[in-house]
Chain A
């Protein structure tokens, strides 16, 4: 116990330093307007004010942005999960040269700069009349979410014993029936973590959304919205930080709660 005080103390300091920006976001969001311009800054709010939350939620289109983000993230997550389950299962159980080649080429998507890919996507979506629609953003987000979902689910399926399917085969299941009735039900934690991760990736995405949706303010997502408030002439920092907190806090909570599962996603495909 004696030698443990030093690392514990050091960790405390390091965490305080590293997490200060999150604390500062929360403090600013509940600050009294006068505190924002006062020195020394107020580090521990004694009289928190929730006026900024009220302003951002009801005087600005924040609720609309949140809904748009949720729709985009929901759509891309749904498509990602269908494709990811099939692709990940193929890589895990039906791996052949062709399947592995497809799996690897999907990984290469991680190298493509978003600012490059968004150029032809912009042109293509304009040709198909999809530009500035939530669908266009959802499809663009899939270029990010599908590659990681395939590899994250492959890793999860690898951890499920193949005997399950062998037993299903003996009981007269088809291979797809075995996937649907036997493998998926026991994979629910992995499926949930992957879906959540895909949702978060899409929720946080900025470059695609900003390019594809910018011309239609009614379709803006939260990330475009937050960036746009900061572009204004007079910056109401407490409002921006309130909006930021609304966007970030749910994800922080999910992360604290499910870190174990999400970290798999953070490193999925990295080992290959």
Chain B
């Protein structure tokens, strides 16, 4: 069999695989559908180039196979052709880059009305904190973290007192409300990623990083850590539940604030002292 046939079948197989693949995107559940669109566009342009180049190669292999009595063409350069190809490629590249940069511009500019969520990562788990009624998160420091102060909130920061602390590795979000995820880590690199939301960013110890998205489908989603963080990396999962406004408000009212936690701890402490006195 002529090797060109096999190469041709490989190209054909690639196209068919792409058309009929059962392995593809999960349905997008956030505002970042534009990322999917750019990928589709890249598939058309890039895939087109791939198929064209490979088919041209296959054609050459058939047409110009070695014959004793034939001589190859001798033309070291073709300035015009090279120029055309350079410009065509440049145009293709610009066509891909432009939408990519537009979306990136959206990605780094967070809407003003986004709700801030403190996502704190550690080996190997997640915990979440929401701003209280003042709408602001209290400042934090790693050295403050104790059992009584799981987020390391600065005690002298008035914004911190009413912060809502979620006692679970599942975070609830309100549908169609933009969220700004503020990422922190107390130990190593992590990354808080929900495939359906498309967005991600590393959590880096020592600094606070961020990204934003707007969930647009209610439901339960799995959170994956996607920056390698040691042997427990693959098991570092969490969850997100996207709810309608009503359900979300109900859930939010059931959560504990930092002041609640301090009061509870004080009560336990006084009970303990009373018990000891008796």
Q: Do these two chains interact?
A: no
Q: Which residues of A contact B (CB under 8 A)?
A: none
